């Protein structure tokens, strides 16, 4: 991350947390700590922490590599080693990083995994990704199969199916790897901390209903989700971070202030948008600048729900530890069917009084991008607002055409202006 950009105190704290975790990983072996490679959607961070196992998240490694300008090198290496151009660029970036010494964002080598823990939640690519990891590291591999919400809802039978796997497969594997017995009381304590952090987390994103919105729920939101979707959910550090973040956001609401951008406070909110899809990481600040220079604030986004949807009332529940973990896995955004995703975007447009919505389609991410044109048309019908469609990629700089993205965004905002003038003329 560029140190010249404007940062909130919470952003600095978030950077310290993530950096500290990577430094801890670099010293894990000498400290006698175990690590598990796993993924963000539907992850079992609390259960890992109950066994003192450190999570390593390959998607986070890939996006960190992109923001540090390393992803092109890693992707080229992966393609040279036989990975197709059409393979998810997160996979290729992580694979290239792995084949280049597995050096993390702090410049230190990450540990080889003691366990590969795959929580399958709506993305088939995860399965193939883990095959590469298993081939490389020869580590014990456990798959937690999470049923897809094909009918738009998670059932009790689905939850019980996941709980059975936790009891019979995942926990025994963790016991074997760590030599420790499962301690449910400890897990309950960790889950209680998760629930505390989740309350403040939800309040932060709901604050975008204010005018002006005190946050950007997409570009700023990716910083906000970092601790809770990665290694810190279930820790006092996460509780403290989200309490701090909420206080900052509440202060901006009280002052009638908009979000802080990398170039400083945003002076005026002209457009309120909802965004579907992950961001581009190779040109992240340039991408963000295209929005805030036009006075466009993202008041809600689907990407910030990829690690869990809390706004519907879910909280980790220490009274029902394994059932709670199962419900979390079932509820992540990519595990929802297309009609449910379209309904959610339409609710965002209405609840956050957005002027429109934009779909960022990612070339190599099928779990997000498949069906997005259908979603666009559905949301247009539900809200009466026209959507916009732009394309780039996650971490491959070859697929971010800044001029094309900027032209499409500017054209869309001009259309919103025209609609406003037409509505004003009709009102007269």
Instruction: Write the DSSP string, 317-365.
Output: -TTSHHHHHHHHHHHSGGGB-HHHHHHHHHHHHHHTT-SEEEEEEETT-
What is the percent of the chain with per-residue pLDDT over 90, rounded to a whole number?
83
Burial of 81 (0-12, 13-18, 19+ CB in 10 A): exposed
Query: What are the residue boundaries of the structural domains of the chain, listed by start?
Result: 9-182
State the greatest distance between any 2 C-alpha atoms of the chain, in Å, as a whole number.
Answer: 75
Strand order, beta sheet including 141-145: 53-56, 34-37, 115-120, 141-145
pLDDT above 60 for 241: yes
pLDDT in the model for residue 2: 47
pLDDT above 80 for 422: no
- Chain segment 285-307, per-residue pLDDT in tens: 999 999 999 999 999 999 999 88
pLDDT above 80 for 198: yes
Which three-class secondary structure state does DSSP give residue 55?
Answer: strand
* CATH match for 9-182 among 3.40.30.10, 3.40.50.720, 3.40.50.11890, 3.40.190.80: 3.40.50.11890
pLDDT in the model for residue 5: 62
Q: Does residue 321 contact residue 350 with C-beta atoms inside 8 Å? A: no
pLDDT in the model for residue 367: 77
Q: Which residues of 280-319 are buried (b: 16+ CB within 10 A; e: fewer)?
A: bbbbbeebbbbbbebbbbbbbbbbbbbbbbbbeebbbbbe
- Chain segment 343-378, per-residue pLDDT in tens: 999 999 999 999 999 999 998 887 778 889 999 999
Strand partners, 34: 53
pLDDT above 50 for 400: yes
User: Phi first, then psi: what are they for 56, rounded to 5°?
Assistant: -125, 125
Give the β-pairing of 141-145 and 264-265: unpaired
Average pLDDT over residues 78-98: 93
Tokens of 154: 């998670």
- Chain segment 243-302, per-residue pLDDT in tens: 999 999 999 999 999 999 988 999 899 999 999 999 999 999 999 999 999 999 999 999
pLDDT above 70 for 397: yes
The total of other beta-carbon atoms located within 10 Å of residue 323's CB is 16
Average pLDDT over residues 206-224: 97
Give the β-pairing of 141-145 and 296-301: unpaired
Average pLDDT of the chain to the nearest whole number: 93
The CA-CA-CA angle for residues 262, 275, 405, to 5°, reads 70
pLDDT above 60 for 424: yes
pLDDT in the model for residue 141: 94
Average pLDDT over residues 65-92: 93
pTM: 0.94
């Amino acid at each position: 991350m560029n140190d010249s950009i404007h940062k909130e105190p919470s952003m600095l704290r978030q950077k310290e947390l993530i950096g500290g975790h990577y430094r801890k990983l670099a010293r894990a072996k000498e400290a006698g700590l175990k690590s598990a490679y796993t993924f963000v959607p539907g992850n079992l961070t609390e259960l890992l922490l109950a066994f003192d196992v450190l999570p390593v998240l390959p998607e986070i490694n890939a996006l960190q590599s992109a923001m540090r300008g390393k992803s092109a090198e890693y992707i080229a290496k992966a393609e040279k080693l036989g990975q197709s151009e059409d393979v998810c660029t997160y996979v290729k970036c992580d694979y290239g990083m792995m084949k280049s010494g597995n050096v993390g964002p702090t410049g230190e080598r990450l540990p080889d995994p003691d366990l590969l823990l795959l929580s399958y939640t709506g993305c088939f690519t995860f399965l193939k990704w883990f095959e590469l990891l298993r081939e490389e590291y020869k580590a014990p591999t456990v798959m937690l199969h999470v049923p897809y919400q094909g009918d738009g809802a998670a059932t009790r039978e689905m939850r019980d199916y996941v709980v059975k796997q936790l009891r019979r497969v995942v926990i025994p594997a963790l016991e074997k790897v760590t030599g420790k017995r499962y301690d449910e009381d400890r897990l309950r304590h960790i889950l209680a901390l998760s629930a505390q952090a989740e309350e403040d987390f939800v309040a932060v994103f709901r604050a975008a209903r204010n005018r002006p919105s005190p946050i950007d729920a997409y570009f700023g939101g990716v910083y906000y989700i970092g601790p809770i979707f990665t290694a810190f959910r279930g820790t006092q550090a996460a509780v403290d971070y989200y309490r701090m973040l909420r206080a900052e956001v509440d202060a901006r609401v009280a002052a009638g202030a908009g979000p802080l951008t990398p170039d400083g406070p945003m002076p005026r909110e002209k457009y309120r948008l909802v965004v579907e899809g992950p961001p581009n990481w190779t040109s992240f600040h340039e991408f963000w600048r295209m929005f805030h220079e036009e006075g466009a604030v993202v008041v809600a986004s689907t990407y910030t729900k990829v690690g869990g949807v809390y706004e519907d009332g879910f909280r980790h529940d220490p009274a029902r530890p394994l059932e709670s973990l199962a419900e979390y896995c079932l509820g992540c955004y990519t595990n929802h069917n297309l009609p449910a995703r379209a309904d959610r975007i339409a609710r965002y447009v209405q609840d956050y009084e957005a002027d429109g919505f934009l779909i960022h389609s990612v070339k190599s991410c099928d779990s997000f991008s498949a069906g997005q044109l259908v979603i666009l048309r559905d949301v247009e019908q539900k809200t009466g607002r026209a959507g916009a469609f732009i394309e780039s990629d996650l971490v491959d700089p070859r697929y971010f055409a800044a001029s094309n993205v900027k032209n499409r965004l500017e054209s869309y905002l001009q259309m919103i202006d025209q609609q406003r003038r037409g509505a004003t003329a009709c009102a007269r």
